[in-house]
Amino acid sequence: MSSDTENRCVYCNELMHPDRPYNYCTEPACYKQGFKQTEYVILGVHKSTPIICAPTDDLVSANRSYMNAK
């Protein structure tokens, strides 16, 4: 069984909708924590300017997995 196809909340481990672009569920407690963490996301610092996006940006959805990796 792989967790790659599952989209689980990082806080309560609840299974979420696979298309949900966040790594936390809609429970108020989780949402609050997750929202704070992803208020601004730095996608990567290259030799010059870091790429900073809002958490709703598609780029963040695609690249967020490393941000909260444990």
Residues forming contacts to Zn ion in the complex (CB under 5 A) are 9, 11-12, 14, 25, 27, 30
Q: By C-beta, is 32 or 54 nearer to Zn ion?
A: 32
Beta-bridge partner residues of 41? 53
CB of 36 to Zn ion, least distance (A): 14
Q: How far apart are CA 50 and CA 31, in angstroms?
A: 26
> Where in the chain does DSSP place strands (E)?
41-42, 52-53
Q: By C-beta, is 12 or 42 nearer to Zn ion?
A: 12
Q: By C-beta, is 27 or 43 nearer to Zn ion?
A: 27
CB of 34 to Zn ion, least distance (A): 8
Q: Does residue 41 contact residue 53 with C-beta atoms inside 8 Å?
A: yes
